Amino acid sequence: MHLIFQGVDDLCMLEGCAMENQPNPVSELFFGRDDAENDLTAGLLSGMVFQHTYAYRQALSGRTPLIIGRKGAGKSAICRRLASPHGHSGTAVLITPDDAAGDEIRRFELQGVSSDTAKSLIWRYVFAIHAARYLCGHARAAHGWRSRTSVRALRNFLETNDETGDERLYERLRRGILGLQTANLSLKAFGIEAGLGLSGASEGARASRQLEILEKGVAAAFTELGCSQAHTLLFLVDQIEQVWTIDPDSHALVTGLLLASKEVTRRYGNSVRCTIFLRSDIYDTLVFSDADKFHSDELRITWSREELDELVLARAAASLKMELTREQLWGHVFPSTVLGEPTGEYLFQRSLPRPRDTIQFLNLCQQVADKRGHRRITEDDMLTATGQFSRWKLTDLAREYSISHPFLAQLFLIFENNGYVVMLPALVSRFEPHRDRLQQDFADYAESLTAQGILDVLFGIGFLGVKRGRGVVYSDGGQVTLQPGESEFHVHPCFRSALGAVDPADLTPYNPSPIRNLYAGNTLIQAATGSDISFSISRNARLLDDIVRACERLLRQLMRAALPEDMRAEVQTRISHVMDDARRRREDQRDASQSDVTTHVLGASDFLGNLAVQLGEHGFREEPITRRLDDEARALIRSAGGAVGGGSGSASPP
């Protein structure tokens, strides 16, 4: 029994059953939980729903042990999949430090070595203990009752140093830190007596020597057992962001982890692998001498439109418990178009390209429709969800980067109720009144709080895109940074609704009545609006024709204007409204009073003048179309004044 979708009405029914007896498909629809941990237990992240992306395949193979991605990009989903029985064929050890463990590592220092090196030693200790515990259990289960010499040595070491229990990472770290700092680890199991012959050596030298002996013991056990590749031990380190702050000790914590992961591979060969999942905003702040050695290990998670589409389709089908085609999803469950755009394009363009955003957006559409009792998600449901989703994402973006860029929420205010196309001069003009206050409130970041600095930040986090060639490029971590000469920027569609930036520019809509008095001090307006005005029908027609001809000249000039494409289209629409309205009034001008025509001309003049001012505010003050708008606005005022006095019409050339 399965659901069948039948066309434009809500004719969804269970095969062979009356519609009233079948569940509402919208109520059944669900795209999963926001986070991988809950999605595994109470969501959809299992079985065929999990997407075997390139990043997952590379992590599974071990070719790219460093998986980097933004929040919500799917790092933890890959990690949890590898840790599950359906993932890695061998044994996986999941390490997710909490605040207590993070504090222990941050505070760990050793005299005689750098902070990065000290942190790497404690991470190596954690890996070595986990490997030793694994070997002791694996040897007994897979290699018979007779223990190998090397495995017995590991078991004795663990018992002597109280490492046989299954304690939290915090407890293991505390014991390891104490042992490494005081050279107090018992190494008798490996035939080494206390002291190590390093009297007078630094803390760092003693700790390093102790660790090397332990690691040699672990490596010997792997060699003696000779396990196949199917028994590879895999360390998975995730959620480092839970213990990371902007301070140097946090940087050393992460850098030490990376260095330790390299050392694990070097010391244990193919027997052990270590895969680390890092947020891109953390990784991109790291500066250390060996950073160039990790380029071949890196893989940044990116999602294509097609991959997200597959994810959505799989999750929708799983929740509805039926086979589902794209045509059914984007035509029967959801409307086929929203605001004239194909629904899939509408959704994916208005969210950042990562699974969490897509899941949240679609779940919100479902909730809106379900609350309204709809059996299909309508265009209006999606438009309602768009506003709420945009507000969520703007807030989430500030939270995501609250540690590295705590000033973001203040920067977003600069873009409120303005157009989504932002030219460099306009951005500089908008930012300047806020610069001193921001630099004072966020003194530690003052060097970045310049016009160019905030552009780099906003482009880097995906809030702003840059016009390159014929398209707009939004950063996904792999884009080239902003280049000199780039001056046209676009607010990402995801955030436009929340900011009230739904149009390319904040251009005033055309409304010829009442007059907005841009040129209220001009004597021509005062003359043209006098109470004793007397017009003939031909004079009214001539004034309206002046508006039409002015708009035609402006539209021709606009075709050559160096405006952003979206903004040019918006300006063209506004000017066309003025022209079309004048033509309609020209056809019906016999019914218009004499003062109505004058008011209409002055309203058109006022609108064109306002348009010139607004383009200037957007950074196009010296653009010829801006000057031409101002000229035509003033010419229309003269035309109205000339009509009053019986003079000539528009002063602009044809």
For helices 99-107 and 115-142, what crossing angle results, to 10°? 130
pTM for the whole structure:
0.80
Q: What is the CATH number of the domain that holds 625?
A: 1.20.1440
Residue 317 sits at the vertex; the CA angle it makes with 314 and 323, to the nearest 5 degrees, is 110
Q: Residue 35 in contact with residue 73, Cβ under 8 Å?
A: no
Residue 504 is assigned to a structural domain of this protein: no
- Comparing CA positions, the residue from 80, 86, 122, 87 lying closest to residue 101 is 122
Domain co-membership, 421 together with 314: no
Residue 517 is assigned to a structural domain of this protein: no
Residue 591 is assigned to a structural domain of this protein: yes
Q: How many domains does the chain have?
A: 4
Domain co-membership, 74 together with 222: yes
3-state secondary structure of 590: helix
Domain co-membership, 281 together with 308: no
Residue 43 is assigned to a structural domain of this protein: no
- Summarised one tens digit per residue, pLDDT across range 154-207 is 999 999 888 887 778 888 888 888 888 887 788 888 888 765 656 667 888 888
Residue 455 is assigned to a structural domain of this protein: yes
Domain co-membership, 272 together with 139: yes
Residue 454 is assigned to a structural domain of this protein: yes
- Comparing CA positions, the residue from 257, 267, 162 lying closest to residue 211 is 267
Domain co-membership, 177 together with 83: yes
Give long-range contacts, CB 8 A cutoff, 24+ apart: 44-48. Answer: 44/315, 44/318, 44/319, 45/77, 45/80, 45/81, 46/86, 47/318, 48/314, 48/318
E strand residue ranges, 201-355: 233-237, 272-279, 298-300, 337-338, 341-342
Specify the DSSP element, H or E, that contains 431: helix 424-441
Domain co-membership, 308 together with 295: no
| Most distant CA pair in the chain, distance | 116
Q: Which backbone phi and psi does 142 adopt, to 5 degrees?
A: -110, -15
- Summarised one tens digit per residue, pLDDT across range 481-502 is 888 889 999 999 999 999 999 8
- How far is Cα 543 from Cα 547, in angstroms, rounded to an integer? 7
- Which whole-number Å values give the CA distances from 569 to 400, 618, 627, in the listed order? 35, 15, 18
Specify the DSSP element, H or E, that contains 489: strand 488-491
Domain, as residue range, for 175 = 54-300
Domain co-membership, 112 together with 258: yes
Give long-range contacts, CB 8 A cutoff, 24+ apart: 467-471. Answer: 467/564
Identify the pLDDT of residue 179.
Answer: 85
Place of tokens 């060996």: 290
Residue 76 is assigned to a structural domain of this protein: yes
Domain co-membership, 215 together with 268: yes
Domain end, chosen from 345, 376, 400, is at 400
Domain co-membership, 259 together with 205: yes
Identify the pLDDT of residue 530.
Answer: 45
Domain co-membership, 424 together with 375: no
- Which whole-number Å values give the CA distances from 551 to 102, 169, 572, in the listed order? 66, 73, 10
> Would strands 298-300 and 272-279 be described as parallel, antiparallel, or unpaired?
unpaired
Domain co-membership, 80 together with 183: yes
Residue type, 543: L
3-state secondary structure of 485: coil
Residue 20 CB: number of other CB atoms within 10 A?
6
Cis before 85? omega within 30: no
Helix H, strand E, coil C: the string for 41-90 is HHCCCCHHHCCCCHHHHHHHHCCCCEEEECCCCCHHHHHHHHHCCCCCCC
Identify the pLDDT of residue 378.
Answer: 96
Residue 9 CB: number of other CB atoms within 10 A?
9
Q: Residue 419 in contact with residue 508, Cβ under 8 Å?
A: no
Direct distance between the N- and C-terminal alpha carbons of the chain, in angstroms, rounded to an integer? 72
Residue 47 is assigned to a structural domain of this protein: no
Domain end, chosen from 337, 365, 400, is at 400
Identify the pLDDT of residue 2.
Answer: 42
Residue 421 CB: number of other CB atoms within 10 A?
25
- Which whole-number Å values give the CA distances from 310 to 20, 165, 194, 325, in the listed order? 31, 44, 60, 10
Q: Residue 163 in contact with residue 127, Cβ under 8 Å?
A: no
DSSP per residue, 411-427: HHGGGTTS-SEEEHHHH
384 burial via Cβ count (<10 Å: 0-12, 13-18, 19+) = middle
Please give the structure tokens belonging to residue 193: 């007596």
Q: Residue 513 in contact with residue 599, Cβ under 8 Å?
A: yes
Domain co-membership, 312 together with 290: no
- How far is Cα 453 from Cα 129, in angstroms, rounded to an integer? 45
Q: Residue 79 in contact with residue 277, Cβ under 8 Å?
A: yes
Residue spans of the chain under pLDDT 70: 1-22, 41-43, 46-48, 144-147, 194-200, 230, 477-479, 512-537, 589-595, 642-654
- Which whole-number Å values give the CA distances from 592 to 17, 261, 524, 637, in the listed order? 64, 82, 22, 19
- How far is Cα 14 from Cα 2, in angstroms, rounded to an integer? 6
Domain end, chosen from 467, 499, 531, is at 499
3-state secondary structure of 37: helix
Q: Residue 459 in contact with residue 481, Cβ under 8 Å?
A: yes
Q: Residue 625 in contact with residue 561, Cβ under 8 Å?
A: yes
3-state secondary structure of 198: coil
- Which whole-number Å values give the CA distances from 383 to 77, 84, 376, in the listed order? 30, 39, 14
Identify the pLDDT of residue 589.
Answer: 60
3-state secondary structure of 239: coil
Please give the structure tokens belonging to residue 16: 């062979």
Q: Residue 339 in contact with residue 347, Cβ under 8 Å?
A: no
Total residue count of the chain as it appears in this document = 654
